[in-house]
């Protein structure tokens, strides 16, 4: 009896457990996501279920081959099946190879006829298989370039991003240089493909790889350079933009903010900002601060990206195999009679000028070609002036540069033009003379210097900036009143002519050292005035690198200072030791003493440190005297011109050494803005979240009264309201309404 009860209970429990197991299995069959989770825990036990889904996928693809156009709802099981198989393929390598080869075959044979969602699903599955190393990189790149031919914008964007991600993965994780070289050769071959879309996709991948340092070498740079001569203009423009860099770089705007007082939010990452906001009390102010911080971080990332492109475009120009041949081919395309868009022609002029300026090339016909565009009414004339200045360097013959400068002076620097045109013309001439001072003539320079008394301040400041430049370069070309005084009571600096190398005969500042190294003493620098001593002992602990333009700026300062008040600058070098300098030392000229010391012995690091300290003291004392005389004889405009020249020279020494658009469009006094321009600036600077005044609703019925809206309503909506109005009318109104109704019915005019 008991035994039968136990058996019956076991049977009951077994029958209860079977439906539970079956229900779970059927539920996982319907929900492939749950089945994926189950199979990942024990792949071998559920191999049959995976194979069953794989067979289901193959049968579905056969049906799709017979009937390519199917409804979106009918394709949903296929999309889920592809996601399921690609997610679990790493557990079954044999089936994974068959799965990938089948998808590649389908995409090759009927890629154009497939539904866009199926096509995108197959591509995502191939990317997943590639990341799991179940598909070779070359196979993936090959099928990707085949799919680029399909006219599907979203698919092309996804494929190019997937190929860039593949290069990043190979470069960062595995450092597989051999495989990267194979992919590089494969992409270079695709850039020569007859189909323009394939060549453009390969070009975008090469440019992205060069910018992100995956393929930053001369081979990649020259392959991109060959694309500048492609038959498709869009590919040409993309390649030229790569070499020219960002527009901010050409304009001279700083990509990264130089403000040291950067807010704390800008230094944080988005993750830190979001974490702080998540754990704090939610207020409207904190929400606005969060949005402001995210905008600042994104702006900083964008500036960093532009700075990276600015760095790599100069490197790409420097890596050209034959820059002279490259510039000549570009110029031949400019001279050809083929009709191109003006923007494309402007890109060619810009790139040709940039390559000529960086590599110091001789393409002399390029300068005469620019003459036709140097007109004040020419479109983008300031940029053309910039390209003319960038193409001028110290190896261009003086007569060629002189013709270019004459053309600019005759077309821009005339009284019949506007002050803005005159200012731009003088600025362009100044930037050309910075690199080619030997092309300046005394007659032209003195004519331009007369504009320093022009009634417009922008014109006068541009002329004075030109005078400031030639005070340091070649004062003999200026009028005597514009030259200034000689520095340190010495002779004028000898002007270096065309193609003459500037050879240093001695170490500048060596006159401060002792003739004999055994005699050691301190170096002091006295002033004729009782100025306070300048303490720079803290600077000694740091490495101070001497700037080659320091002497130039100091010379200008002393020249201007002496020309205003007539004071002579006297620098005396004394020893603080018990034995003062001998009469022989006092008789020696500082220049001759520096030559004697430089040729007599090899200077030590301590002596170079002493020379740098002397140069620094000399510069600081010059600035101190300058500040002291600002209120008396010195004008703020002169100081401003000197500082601008110094900043410009320092900036030239850092990068490619070429001028920027802000040097050409330099206006010291900006014109007054119109009301529309001021309002546009206000709207641009105003935060989007901040709204002033009463908030206004947006919609199709905004701005209409209820009476106007009621006229267009259906009568069924308003009849109750009309009935209510009739009840509220007086007896007199009802009587008048009835009379008018009866009159209209009889055809008479109502009263």
Per-residue pLDDT at 390: 92
Q: Which pair of tokens denotes residue 690? A: 């901040």
By CB atoms closer than 10 A (0-12, 13-18, 19+), residue 249 is buried
CA 294 – CA 82 distance, rounded (Å): 37
Closest to 463 in 3D by CA, of 478, 451, 472: 451
Over range 202-208, report the average pLDDT.
93
Q: Is the pLDDT of residue 423 over 60?
A: yes
Closest to 433 in 3D by CA, of 659, 180, 597: 659
Q: Is the pLDDT of residue 593 over 70?
A: yes
CA 213 – CA 537 distance, rounded (Å): 43
CA-based end-to-end distance of the chain: 109
Structure letter (DSSP) for residue 668: S
Dihedral Cα 94, 100, 103, 109, nearest 10 deg:
-100
Per-residue pLDDT at 71: 57
CA separation, residue 235 to residues 192, 232, 353, 499 (Å): 12, 6, 20, 39
CA 353 – CA 363 distance, rounded (Å): 10
Over range 169-175, report the average pLDDT.
80
Cβ atoms of 201 and 145 closer than 8 Å: yes
Q: Is the pLDDT of residue 742 over 80?
A: yes
CA 638 – CA 559 distance, rounded (Å): 11
Over range 213-236, report the average pLDDT.
92
Per-residue pLDDT at 70: 63
CA 650 – CA 647 distance, rounded (Å): 5
CA 191 – CA 207 distance, rounded (Å): 12
Closest to 408 in 3D by CA, of 395, 426, 392, 390: 426
Structure letter (DSSP) for residue 515: S
**Residue entry with tokens 């900043």:** 647
Q: Is the pLDDT of residue 435 over 60?
A: yes
Beta partners for residue 526, in sequence order: 572
How long a stretch of residues is the chain?
A: 751
By CB atoms closer than 10 A (0-12, 13-18, 19+), residue 553 is buried
Across the chain, mean pLDDT equals 77
Closest to 163 in 3D by CA, of 200, 125, 205: 205
CA 229 – CA 218 distance, rounded (Å): 18
Q: Is the pLDDT of residue 31 over 60?
A: yes
Q: Cα angle vertex 605, ends 603, 610, to 5°? A: 85
Per-residue pLDDT at 300: 74
CA 651 – CA 434 distance, rounded (Å): 13
**Burial 519-536, CB ≥16 within 10 A → b, else e:** eeeebebebeeeeeeeee
pLDDT in tens, 693-716: 555 666 666 777 777 777 788 878
Q: Is the pLDDT of residue 615 over 80?
A: no
Q: Is the pLDDT of residue 14 over 80?
A: no
Among the ranges given (62-76, 150-164, 263-277, 461-475), the one the predictor scored with the smallest mean pLDDT: 263-277
Among the ranges given (204-218, 304-318, 508-522), the one the predictor scored with the smallest mean pLDDT: 508-522
Angle between helices 32-41 and 47-66 (to 10 degrees): 140
- When pLDDT is cut at 50, 70 and 90, the band that residue 659 belongs to is confident
Q: What is the largest CA-CA distance in the chain?
A: 137
Beta partners for residue 574, in sequence order: 524
Q: What is the DSSP string of 316-362?
A: HHHT-S-HHHHHHHHHHHHHSS----HHHHHHHHHHHHHHHHHHT--
The separation between CA 241 and the C-alpha centre of its own chain, rounded to angstroms, equals 11
Per-residue pLDDT at 236: 93
**Burial 365-397, CB ≥16 within 10 A → b, else e:** ebbeebeebbebeeeebebbbbbbbbbbbeebe
pLDDT top residue among 670 and 477? 477
Cβ atoms of 190 and 202 closer than 8 Å: yes
pLDDT in tens, 385-414: 999 999 998 889 999 999 999 999 999 999
Cβ atoms of 609 and 507 closer than 8 Å: no
Over range 128-133, report the average pLDDT.
91
pLDDT top residue among 521 and 51? 51
Q: Which pair of tokens denotes residue 52? A: 């069953």
Per-residue pLDDT at 229: 93
Cβ atoms of 350 and 387 closer than 8 Å: yes
Per-residue pLDDT at 72: 57
Over range 5-13, report the average pLDDT.
40
The CA radius of gyration of the chain, in Å to the nearest whole number, is: 40
CA 150 – CA 157 distance, rounded (Å): 12
Cβ atoms of 225 and 240 closer than 8 Å: no
Q: Is the pLDDT of residue 123 over 90?
A: yes
Closest to 445 in 3D by CA, of 418, 464, 424: 464
CA 581 – CA 232 distance, rounded (Å): 76
Q: Is the pLDDT of residue 687 over 90?
A: no
**Residue entry with tokens 């492109």:** 309
CA separation, residue 250 to residues 153, 253, 615, 661 (Å): 31, 8, 34, 6
- When pLDDT is cut at 50, 70 and 90, the band that residue 468 belongs to is confident
pLDDT top residue among 491 and 721? 721
Q: Which pair of tokens denotes residue 553? A: 């700026």
pLDDT top residue among 597 and 352? 352
The separation between CA 486 and the C-alpha centre of its own chain, rounded to angstroms, equals 44
- When pLDDT is cut at 50, 70 and 90, the band that residue 113 belongs to is confident
Q: Which pair of tokens denotes residue 726? A: 């009739």
Helix (H, G, I), strand (E, B) or coil at 525: strand
pLDDT in tens, 175-203: 778 888 899 999 999 999 889 999 999 99
Q: Is the pLDDT of residue 66 over 90?
A: no
Closest to 539 in 3D by CA, of 605, 617, 606, 646: 617
Q: Is the pLDDT of residue 155 over 80?
A: yes
Helix (H, G, I), strand (E, B) or coil at 279: coil
- When pLDDT is cut at 50, 70 and 90, the band that residue 218 belongs to is very high
Per-residue pLDDT at 630: 45
CA 374 – CA 388 distance, rounded (Å): 9
Per-residue pLDDT at 286: 84
pLDDT in tens, 237-271: 999 999 988 777 776 665 444 444 344 444 567 77
pLDDT in tens, 532-579: 433 333 333 333 333 434 444 444 444 444 444 443 433 333 333 434
Question: Residue 202 is inside which H or E element, if any?
Answer: helix 196-211
pLDDT top residue among 68 and 132? 132
Cβ atoms of 366 and 400 closer than 8 Å: no
List phi, psi (to 5°) of 394: -70, -10
CA separation, residue 118 to residues 74, 98, 108 (Å): 11, 18, 14
pLDDT top residue among 110 and 696? 110
Per-residue pLDDT at 313: 81
Q: Is the pLDDT of residue 169 over 80?
A: yes
Structure letter (DSSP) for residue 227: G
List phi, psi (to 5°) of 450: -65, -20
Over range 594-599, report the average pLDDT.
81
pLDDT top residue among 153 and 537? 153
**Burial 595-610, CB ≥16 within 10 A → b, else e:** bebbeeeebeeebeeb
- When pLDDT is cut at 50, 70 and 90, the band that residue 312 belongs to is low
Q: What is the DSSP string of 599-639?
A: HHSPPPHHHHHHHHHHHHHHHHHHHHHHHHTTTTT--HHHH
Per-residue pLDDT at 473: 82
Dihedral Cα 264, 270, 275, 276, nearest 10 deg:
20
Question: Residue 203 is inside which H or E element, if any?
Answer: helix 196-211
Among the ranges given (509-518, 586-595, 600-609, 630-639), the one the predictor scored with the smallest mean pLDDT: 630-639
By CB atoms closer than 10 A (0-12, 13-18, 19+), residue 473 is middle
Task: Provide the 10 A C-beta neighbour count for residue 320.
Answer: 19
């Amino acid at each position: 009896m008991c035994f039968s009860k136990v058996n019956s209970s076991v049977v009951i429990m077994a029958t209860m457990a079977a439906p539970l197991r079956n229900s779970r299995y059927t539920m996982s069959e319907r929900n492939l996501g749950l089945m994926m989770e189950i199979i990942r825990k024990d792949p071998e036990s559920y191999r049959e279920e995976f194979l069953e889904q794989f067979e289901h996928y193959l049968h579905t693809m056969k049906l799709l081959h017979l009937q390519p156009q199917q409804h979106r709802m009918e394709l949903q099981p296929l999309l889920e099946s592809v996601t399921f198989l690609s997610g679990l393929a790493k557990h079954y390598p044999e089936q994974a190879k068959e799965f990938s080869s089948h998808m590649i075959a389908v995409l090759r044979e009927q890629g154009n006829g497939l539904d866009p969602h199926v096509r995108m699903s197959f591509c995502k599955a191939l990317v997943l298989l590639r990341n799991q190393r179940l598909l070779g990189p070359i196979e993936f790149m090959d099928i990707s370039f085949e799919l680029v031919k399909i006219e599907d914008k979203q698919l092309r964007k996804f494929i190019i991003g997937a190929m860039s991600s593949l290069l990043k993965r190979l470069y960062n994780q595995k450092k597989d240089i051999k495989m990267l070289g194979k992919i590089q050769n494969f992409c270079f071959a695709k850039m020569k493909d007859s189909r323009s879309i394939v060549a453009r996709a390969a070009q975008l991948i090469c440019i992205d790889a060069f910018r992100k340092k995956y393929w930053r070498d001369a081979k990649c740079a020259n392959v991109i350079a060959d694309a500048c001569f492609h038959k498709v203009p869009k590919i040409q423009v993309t390649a030229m933009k790569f070499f020219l860099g960002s527009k901010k770089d050409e304009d001279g705007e700083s990509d990264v903010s130089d403000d040291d007082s950067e807010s704390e939010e800008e230094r944080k990452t988005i993750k830190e900002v979001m974490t702080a906001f998540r754990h704090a009390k939610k207020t409207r102010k904190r929400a606005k601060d969060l949005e402001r911080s995210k905008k600042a971080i994104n702006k900083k990332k964008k500036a960093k990206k532009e700075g990276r492109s600015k760095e790599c475009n100069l490197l790409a120009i420097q890596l050209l195999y034959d820059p002279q041949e490259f510039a000549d081919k570009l110029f031949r395309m400019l001279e050809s009679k083929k009709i191109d868009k003006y923007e494309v022609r402007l890109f060619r002029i810009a790139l040709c000028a940039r390559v000529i300026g960086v590599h110091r090339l001789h393409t002399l016909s390029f300068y005469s070609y620019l003459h036709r565009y140097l007109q004040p009414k020419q479109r983008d004339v300031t940029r053309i002036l910039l390209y003319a200045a960038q193409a001028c360097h110290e190896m261009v013959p003086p007569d060629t540069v002189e013709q270019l400068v004459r053309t600019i002076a005759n077309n821009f620097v005339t009284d019949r033009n506007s002050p803005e045109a005159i200012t731009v013309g003088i600025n362009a001439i100044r930037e050309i003379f910075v690199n080619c001072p030997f092309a300046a003539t005394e007659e032209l320079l003195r004519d331009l210097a007369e504009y320093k008394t022009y009634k417009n301040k922008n014109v006068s400041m541009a002329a004075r900036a030109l005078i400031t430049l030639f005070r340091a370069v070649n004062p003999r070309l200026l009028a005597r009143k514009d030259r200034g005084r000689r520095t340190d009571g010495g002779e004028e600096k000898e002007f270096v002519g065309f193609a003459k190398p500037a050879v240093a005969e001695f170490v500048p500042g060596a006159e401060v050292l002792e003739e004999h190294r055994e005699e050691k003493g301190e170096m002091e620098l006295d002033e004729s005035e009782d100025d306070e001593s300048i303490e720079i002992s803290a600077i000694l602990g740091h490495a101070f690198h001497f700037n080659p333009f320091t002497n130039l700026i100091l010379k200008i300062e002393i020249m201007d200072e002496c020309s205003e008040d007539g004071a002579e600058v006297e620098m005396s070098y004394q020893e603080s030791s018990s034995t003062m300098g001998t009469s022989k030392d006092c008789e020696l000229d500082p220049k001759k003493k520096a030559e004697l010391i430089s040729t007599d012995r090899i200077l030590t690091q301590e002596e170079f440190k002493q020379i740098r300290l002397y140069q620094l003291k000399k510069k600081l004392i010059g600035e101190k005297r300058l500040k002291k005389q600002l209120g008396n004889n010195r004008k703020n405009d002169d100081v401003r011109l000197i500082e601008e020249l110094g900043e410009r020279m320092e900036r030239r020494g850092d990068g490619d050494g070429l001028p920027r658009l802000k040097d050409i469009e330099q206006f010291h006094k900006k014109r007054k803005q119109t009301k529309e321009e001021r309002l546009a600036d206000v709207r641009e600077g105003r935060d989007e979240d901040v709204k002033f005044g009463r908030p206004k609703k947006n919609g199709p019925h905004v701005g209409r009264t209820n009476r106007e809206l009621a006229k267009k309503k259906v009568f069924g909506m308003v009849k109750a309201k009309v009935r209510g109005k009739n009840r509220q009318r007086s007896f007199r109104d009802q009587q008048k309404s009835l009379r008018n109704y009866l009159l209209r019915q009889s055809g008479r005019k109502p009263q």
